[in-house]
Amino acid sequence: MSYNYGERAIWLDDIRDGVPPGAGYLMCGQHSDRMTPPLGWTLTDRRTAARLFAPLEVA
């Protein structure tokens, strides 16, 4: 997970070789799938790995 406060944006990316210090956080798939952005922020899931289960949408 990486983020930009100025843009109010969060990105989920595939885990590659780790994350450089200060560039974001490593998250397991279970936590990434449940990630919700703060009010007024956008969340962009750029992961390419297929997931067995999609997160439920709340009505």
Residue 57 in domain: no
Each residue of 20-38: pLDDT tens digit?
777 788 888 889 889 999 9
Say if residue 6's pLDDT is above 80.
Answer: yes
Residue 39 lies in a domain: yes
Render pLDDT for 34-45 as a digit per residue (tens, 0 to 9): 999 999 999 999
Longest dimension (CA), the chain: 37
| Start-to-end Cα distance in the chain | 25
Domain residues for the domain of 6 are 2-45
- How far is 41 from 30, CA to CA, in rounded Å? 21
Question: Is residue 14 one of the residues assigned to a domain?
Answer: yes
From CA 53, how far away is CA 30, in angstroms rounded?
Answer: 10
Residue 52 has pLDDT above 60, yes or no: no
Q: What per-residue confidence (pLDDT) applies to 10? A: 93
Residues in contact with 25: Cβ distance below 8 Å, sequence separation at least 6, in sequence order: 1, 2, 19
Number of structural domains, the chain?
1
For residue 15, tell me if it sits in a domain. Answer: yes
